[in-house]
Amino acid sequence: MCGIFACHSHPDVQKFKPTALKLSKAVRHRGPDWSGSVISNNTILCHERLSIVGVGGSRSVFLSTRTTSHNKAESGAQPLTNADESIVLAVNGEIYNHRMIRKHLKTPYHFKTTSDCEVIIPLYLEYGLDAPKYLDGMFSFVLYDKKLDRTIAARDPIGITTFYQGRSSAQPGSVYFASELKCLHPVCDKIESFPPGHIYDSKSDEMTRYFDPTWWDEKKTATSPLDLKVLRETLEKSIRKRLMAEVPYGVLLSGGLDSSLVASIAQRETLRLKKLSEEAIGSAEPQQDDLDKGEGLVGIDDDNKLSTMTFLPQLNSFSIGLPGSPDNKAALEVAKFLGTKHHVMTFTIEDGLNALSDVIYHLETYDVTTIRASTPMYLLSRKIKAMGIKMVLSGEGSDEIFGGYLYFHGAPNKEEFHEECVKRVKNLHMADCLRANKSTSAWGLEARVPFLDKEFLEVSMNINPQEKMITKEKMEKYILRKAFDTSDDPSAQPYLPDNILWRQKEQFSDGVGYGWIDSLKENAELHVTDEMMKSPKPEWGSDIPDTKEAYWYRLMFDEHFPQSCASTVMRWTPKWVNQSDPSGRAIAIHQAKYEDA
């Protein structure tokens, strides 16, 4: 991940520059590798970079050729510009189809860098506001056209990268953009979450939706027949493209179905690419010390051609939990089965409680579910980054797509089941995507989420929801499990052990250890009295916390952020069940439900 701060049409941009640089610095944790800024006319773009692709100074091997570059321009340092510097671009994200875009541009374009993000400039020159339609990846960007004095800004279709827009009543003609709220609230009194799949144009001062998939209308029930082979192959393709990197990477492995499948496919692909690179390199095979460092092995580009790719000789996997947690136990079993280099990390309840205020500062939310699950992820990300890993794959999105949360047991029919799935996917930018992005970015780590690939969503969201419905014969996410079940083919290599493939859903905040949520509730009792619950802050309006835990988090949020930021927060509770606690363990179907714990 990287960090963006930008302001279009500031009345005195030169005077504002020191403030802009200070505000940009507030998200330097997202991009600790490089900082840059450009001022043109009355617009300023600032960028904090995390180098993943086009890093500069990275070694690469293609067949018998090794090249090394230390050129700043080739490194992809941002903001990026075109040849005559009339276009300025700041991007946060990864564009997985950048090689394809470079090869198929209608007009020749001189690329200054090897960065995957630079393709946005020639796409804008060719397609204008339609440029984001051609991008396959996760991104938020701000582009300034000097000749037209025009700023456009866009966010990826699902909102995997966090992005906000702000305005100030003191400068009504100015528009601000940033990766996080903490950049905006010191200068803006109106802030909103930039809607996913949209593009903003300063010429019209309007936001329009460019992402228009076939499944977008939640009232229109999907009807496509189930094809397990297509489902499996599309997810495998999604994970394959997300291994695009020139830095060490790993996988987050909770031991649940989603992260275990991601780890399994990533491990298969890592081993396949290693074998392929050794065959391609032949007599020019790298020395063992290069392999140990994971440098310069060969990958596959979008045309299925060999292309440079760096990866570790052994895939690293990571899990976290309280001592003896369900997730750590299951994750270790998966790692042994797959042969990944696994790192089990434990935290204490005190560690988690001590981190809560910092977690809320980085998350910029007071949603109970998000905070519960983000705290262990935040702690784990710090340890992963300390090991030198800069990118991880994660399993977010699967439960929304397939109705995997246990409350989906209560869906009365396939129409309501599907409607809830679509709504949950549309709101991921305020929930699990926010958690994955900000928990990792807090430490300069990037999380990639293959379940939210555009092509995979097109396949999975159009499946007849009757196939996804939970019954006595079919547990949650049955079709996803079945797509990777090789039990009917004795010659096939299993993706996962059966007891993992068919393991009941554990929400991450439960799986790290049941004592974690219990301790949060107990500590909330110490910080929030019955009298406080009866007298919430007037400025909260109708957004009143309904539990002491929620009230406690809201108080901590208010310590960091003004009321203007609260409009960007969504508090989530499950549907079809009568409960205020969003934990999966609060649902009666759970094997370790609260009354049995």
Cα 26 to Cα 186, 261, 306, 436, distances in angstroms: 11, 36, 40, 19
Q: Enumerate the H helices of 427-539 as residue ranges.
A: 432-441, 454-460, 478-483, 498-501, 508-511, 514-527, 530-534
CB distance 151 to 142 below 8 Å: yes
- In the three-class reduction of DSSP (H, G, I as helix; E, B as strand; rest coil), residue 188 is classed as coil
Contact present, 120 and 131 (Cβ < 8 Å): yes
> Measured at the alpha carbon of residue 436, what is the angle toward residues 435 and 437, in degrees to the nearest 5?
95
Cβ neighbours for 389, distance < 8 A, ≥ 6 positions apart? 248, 249, 250, 316, 445
Question: Would strands 206-209 and 306-309 be described as parallel, antiparallel, or unpaired?
Answer: unpaired
CA 76 to chain centre: 21
Collect all residues with Cβ–Cβ distance below 8 Å to 62 and sequence separation of at least 6: 298, 306, 307, 308
Contact 582, 550 (CB under 8 A): no
DSSP state of 576: S
Q: CB–CB of 425/401 below 8 Å?
A: yes
Residue 515, H or E segment: helix 514-527
Phi/psi at 127 (nearest 5 deg)? -120, -5
**Angle, CA 218 vertex, CA 214 and CA 219 arms, to 5°:** 110
In 3D space, the residue among 267, 219, 251 whose CA is nearest the CA of residue 392 turns out to be 251
Q: Burial letters for 201-210: b for 16+ Cβ neighbours within 10 Å, e otherwise?
A: bbeeeebeeb
116 is in an annotated binding site: yes
CA distance 384 to 447: 12
Residue 356 among known ligand-binding residues: no
Determine which one of 2, 46, 183, 188 is catalytic. 2
At 531, the amino acid letter reads E
Q: Is 2 a catalytic residue?
A: yes
Strand partners, 93: 139
> 515 labelled as ligand-binding?
no
Q: Please state, in angstroms and rounded to a whole number, the distance separating the CA atoms of residues 59 and 295.
A: 6
Backbone angles phi, psi at 369, to 5 degrees: -60, -45
174 annotated ligand binder: no
Yes or no: say if 27 and 189 are a contact pair by the CB < 8 Å rule. no
Edge-to-edge order in the sheet of strand 80-81: 80-81, 87-95, 137-145, 150-155, 198-201, 206-209
Closest CA to 141 of 121, 111, 170, 168: 121
* Structure tokens given for 27: 């998200």
Residue 130 assigned as binding residue: no
The pair of three-digit structure tokens given for residue 587, joined into one six-digit string = 């649902």
Question: How far, in whole angstroms, is CA 36 from its chain's centroid?
Answer: 24
H or E segment to which residue 238 belongs: helix 228-241
* Binding residue ranges for L-glutamine: 116
Q: Which residues belong to the active site? A: 2
* Binding residue ranges for ATP: 252, 320, 394-395
* Binding residue ranges: 116, 252, 320, 394-395
